[in-house]
Amino acid sequence: MPFRSPAFSTNLVDMVMRIPENLAPENYPLAWLADSWEGGGVLEYENVPAAAYLQELHIDNADGGPYLRFSSEIWLAKEPAGAVDKENPGYFTYKNLTKERLWSSATGYLRVNPELPEQEGGARVVEAMVATPSGNAQVWVGLIRGPQLQLATDAIARSRAGAELNAAKIMAGSVQSDLFYAYDMEAFGYEMRSYLAGRLSRAQVDFADEK
C-alpha cells in the first residue's frame, strides 16, 4: 500500500507531539492527533451548494484502551462560503463564524494495526470505526507517516433508511500546528468528488496575543 502524500505536505512543519497518558506504544504515531480541535471550512457537493461550516473535533485516550476515540460535530454557518479564508488559522475561522444548525456528527475509534509491520517509508497501517446518526457505520483503513494521514472506507453498512454512502476518503496533515484535511465521497448516486475542506486549530491554545 504506497503512501501518497497530501498536496500540502511540502509545508508540513511545527508538528506538536504530545503523548497522551497510557497511550499504547503502537499508537504513538497517532499521538499528534490527540487533542480538542476547533475550526471550519467549506462544504460542497453535487446536490449541496457551497456553504461555510464550523467544526469541533475531540480525539483522546481517556479510557486507556489500545486506541484513540473521537467525536466530530459540524455546524452550518450563518455566513456565506466566501467568509472562509483558507489562509487563516482554524481558530480564526471558528471565532469569526456563527453556528446556524448542526449539519453532521460522528463518533468512533482509531488505532494503528498492531499486527502489521511498518510499511514503505516508515508508514503504519491505521484502522478506524465510525458511526453516524444518519444511519451508517464505516470501517476505514489507511496509512499514517509522521504528520500525514490518509484513510479510505473499506466497508460501509447502512440501515434501511440510512443515508447513501458508497465510498469516502480523507487526506490530512499537520501544517504550522493546524490540522488540514480534505474529505471526498461517492454518495447519493454521484461519483467520488470533494465534499469537505477544512482547517482546525488546537482548542486549548491561547491565541489572545495574536488578535
Above 60 in pLDDT, residue 11?
A: no
pTM confidence score:
0.88
- Tracing cell 498492531 back to the chain, one arrives at 114
- Tracing cell 483503513 back to the chain, one arrives at 141
> What is the widest separation between alpha-carbon atoms in the chain?
51
Cell, residue 10: 511540502
| Cβ contact 85:79 at 8 Å | no
| Cβ contact 146:127 at 8 Å | no
Confidence grade of residue 66 (pLDDT, cut at 50, 70, 90): very high
How distant, in Å, are the alpha carbons of 126, 143, 148, 174 from that of 2?
A: 13, 9, 13, 20
Confidence grade of residue 5 (pLDDT, cut at 50, 70, 90): very low
Above 50 in pLDDT, residue 209?
A: no
**Distance separating alpha carbons of residues 30 and 105, to the nearest angstrom:** 21
Please compute Rg for the chain using Cα positions.
Answer: 17
- Tracing cell 490530512 back to the chain, one arrives at 172
